[in-house]
Amino acid sequence: MENRICFISYKTSLPSNIDEKLYNVILQEIYSGHKNFMMGTHGKFDNISLAVCKRLSKDFAIEIEIAITDLYQKKVVQILNKLDKLYNKQHNEPILSMFNIEETNLKDKIISNYKQMINCSSTLICYFNEKNHNSINTFILDYAKQKGLKIINLYDNK
């Protein structure tokens, strides 16, 4: 398990202040010594996590890794285009990585990708309502707990 933080939230409605919450918790983790951050490409939480990490990379020497599930997805091209437009070239660019995933349907690929992200991380930052039993989110949270990850759930029960 590496000293890496991964971000996961599957098909969840996010509050309007999630970027502020992410910024504060990521900043705290940077001050605690974390320098490696990994996110996927399957939702708003991934996009916001990437944007916040890129923002912080202007002031801190951090490594950003984007775990993609399929080279042929349109999303990959869209993300690369966003990176070209949004990322300040004077800083290190995010690393694109792809785990060896054999599943064929997209949902299974996403789950396998999440598991691989957890396997190489020490901390999970997520946004899950634990009372809402979304099967993927529940599975991912249980899997991260079994693997012994530090879990930072940004969901506010209020």
pLDDT digit string, tens, across residues 77-121:
566 656 665 555 545 667 667 677 766 777 788 888 889 999 999
Sign of CA dihedral 23, 126, 3, 49: negative
| Residue 43 structural domain | 4-153
Confidence check: pLDDT of 158 > 50: no
Alpha-carbon dihedral sign for residues 106, 155, 1, 135: negative
Q: Give 23-39 pLDDT, tens digit per residue.
A: 999 999 999 999 999 99
Does the pTM exceed 0.85? no
Assess if residue 38 is contained within a domain: yes
Which phi and psi angles does 39 have, rounded to 5°? -140, 165
Angle at 124 between CA 119 and CA 125, to 5 degrees: 155
What is the CATH classification number for the domain harbouring 14? 3.40.50.450
Q: Which of 40-49, 66-75, 122-131 has the lowest mean pLDDT?
A: 66-75
Does residue 125 form part of some domain? yes
Distances, alpha carbon 97 to alpha carbons 20, 67, 107, in Å: 27, 5, 18
**At residue 124, does pLDDT exceed 90?**
yes
Q: Quick check: is 18 in a domain? A: yes
Cβ atoms within 10 Å of 53's Cβ, excluding its own: 25
Query: Is 158 a domain residue?
Result: no
The total number of structural domains in the chain stands at: 1
Residue 67 within any structural domain of the chain: yes
Looking at residues 123-149, what average pLDDT do you find? 87
